[in-house]
Structure 1
Amino acid sequence: MNVVLVARSTERLTSLGADLRRDHGVAYRVVTADLSSPDGARTVLAACADLDVGLLVSNAGGGHPGLFLDQELKDLHRRLTLNTTTHMELSYGFGRRFVARGGGGVLLVSALGAVHGLPNMAHESAARAYVLNLGEALHYELAPAKVNVMVMLPGNVDTPIIETFGLDRADLPIRPRPAAAAVRETLAAFGRHRPMHIPGRLMRMMTRFVPRSRLVRLNGRMLGRAAANLRRRESALA
């Protein structure tokens, strides 16, 4: 597959595209866009207007652990656009194109926190719940048009977000799953036309069998410690 790479960092995307071309012989296009801005999704759609896109992987996201009322309203609006509105607009724009072309795929990346409220990350868990419900519904709505839709719910995947959120790896309930393994597993589930997938058998078991109220408390305490770590980090930089 040729790829369109989208993010704010043109330089990093260009480097990644060159690696993909060298290793896999694919063409790439870089689209520089801030997906937390109201125009972000429209920028992507316009930049792909001349391409026969067949698969959308909508992986935009971000967050900031902390109490809901302690955060600035403008930041909450910005992250709501990033975590919710952008996924909706991309799914709508590319979904209509896929139906018109007679097939395609949409892979929405939500988060495991979407299945219940997360204390100290209430805003993000609520936003991600929209993505989960949107994707699950579209899985059935668009199936007759041969458009495959699935939602990925990563819960404990080894990416830089662990440090960005201020999480202590020692606090994580299980060892983070390598990102490449999580992606391979997710794509296999996508190929089986699953509506939703949680990478990692242990994370799936925890989600299914641990009582919901206990998961809310455990994750809330862990994110509370992450928020404290971020405050200390920000104070040290001030």
Structure 2
Amino acid sequence: MVEISLYGPWAVITGASSGIGKAFAEHLAAAGLNLVLAARSTDKLHALGDELSRRHGIAHRVVTVDLSRPGAAGALTEATGELDVGLLVSNAGGGRPGQLLDQQLQDLHSRLTLNAVTHLDLVHAFGPRLVARGRGKHQAGIVLVSAHGALQGLPNMAHESAAKAYVLNLGEALHHELAPAGVNVTVMLPGNVDTPIIDAFGLDRSALPIRPQPADRAVAEFMRAFLKGRALHIPGRLMRLMTRVMPRGLAVRVNGRMLAQAARNLAERPPATAKTS
């Protein structure tokens, strides 16, 4: 199996300030890759980058960017133009539970940019650089972080499940399209991963159908699947089992009820989008 370090010297990670993105940063830094950390939270990115540089002796670069804005991905590609990037981890995303017609169209467009369009923009921008690298003597790869909810339309999160389905299908197709050029593409479908979004949605961890998996464990498991050249991976053995055996209609109803509760929780707070960007 190929070593992660061969995807260096640089990896780009969006949504790197917390949750799954932060776990990717920690995992790749431990493997010796230099990191471009992108998100909105400048202070968090600097703190994370400084810590990882001290601990693992890597270089890092912070790019502050709001990827929910049209064209924002261009700022990230410009900031990394001279770097030898071997791995793109397009992770930034977010959402807000609730019924579609109760939400402002402008907010829906913003989240569509974050959850779908930005992934497209980054793949299209970094793709040629990775293809050129993959055709040489180096490893090249793309990780697209979708969501388990991409596997079906979810009531009370219809918009996000649809947008994440785009990312799933984009990545699965590119896994085959870019393979001849030596670029490894794998889609991550996290479901029961313990991230700050659980708290942002006001959900009780003890009441969830499956105990949340720590983000660092989910990323480590995913990277093993990535290095084996798989097209997609759902972290967590129990989550994969439930995905196979639970009828689609039941999955829609169970998740819909959970997201309805999250929507009620958020209705008691000021309007906001829980982002991992």
Fold shared by both chains (TM-score > 0.5):
yes
| CA distance in 2: counterparts of 1:216 and 1:4, whole angstroms | 37
Q: How does 1:150-189 map to 2 (within 5 A)?
A: 150-189=186-225
Alignment partner, residue 77 of structure 1: 109
> Which one has a larger percent helix, Structure 1 or Structure 2?
1
Alignment partner, residue 2 of structure 1: 34
| CA distance in 1: counterparts of 2:249 and 2:107, whole angstroms | 28
1:33 is aligned to 2:65: yes
Number of residue pairs matched by the alignment: 235
| CA distance in 1: counterparts of 2:205 and 2:130, whole angstroms | 40
CA contact under 8 A between 1:41 and 1:86: conserved in structure 2? yes
Q: Provide, for residues 9-36 of structure 1, a one-character-per-residue CA deviation record: whole Å limited to 9, x for no partner.
A: 1111011000110111100000111110
CA contact under 8 A between 1:154 and 1:199: conserved in structure 2? yes
Structure 2 length as normaliser, TM-score?
Answer: 0.83
Alignment partner, residue 174 of structure 2: 138
1:219 is aligned to 2:251: no
State the secondary structure of the residue aligned to 1:107: strand
Segments of structure 2 that go 5 or more residues without pairing to the other structure are 1-32, 272-277
Segments of structure 1 that go 5 or more residues without pairing to the other structure are none
| CA distance in 1: counterparts of 2:54 and 2:195, whole angstroms | 24
Q: Provide, for residues 213-237 of structure 1, a one-character-per-residue CA deviation record: whole Å limited to 9, x for no partner.
A: 00000000010011011112349xx
| CA distance in 2: counterparts of 1:72 and 1:38, whole angstroms | 17
1:92 is aligned to 2:124: yes
Quote the RMSD (CA, aligned, Å).
1.0
CA contact under 8 A between 1:63 and 1:165: conserved in structure 2? no
Alignment partner, residue 105 of structure 1: 141
| CA distance in 2: counterparts of 1:220 and 1:171, whole angstroms | 15
| CA shift for structure 1 position 166 | 2.6
1:120 aligned residue (149, 156, 169): 156
Question: Identity, % of aligned pairs?
Answer: 65
User: Which has the higher relative contact order, 1 or 2, with Cα contacts under 8 A spaced 6 or more apart?
Assistant: 2
State the secondary structure of the residue aligned to 2:269: helix
Once superposed, which parts of structure 1, at least 4 consecutive aligned residues long, lie more than 4 Å away?
none
| CA distance in 2: counterparts of 1:65 and 1:142, whole angstroms | 34
State the secondary structure of the residue aligned to 2:128: helix
| CA distance in 2: counterparts of 1:116 and 1:171, whole angstroms | 22
1:47 aligned residue (79, 97, 103): 79
| CA distance in 2: counterparts of 1:234 and 1:12, whole angstroms | 23
| CA shift for structure 1 position 95 | 1.0
Which piece of structure 1 moves more, 7-16 or 132-141? Answer: 7-16
| CA distance in 2: counterparts of 1:201 and 1:95, whole angstroms | 31
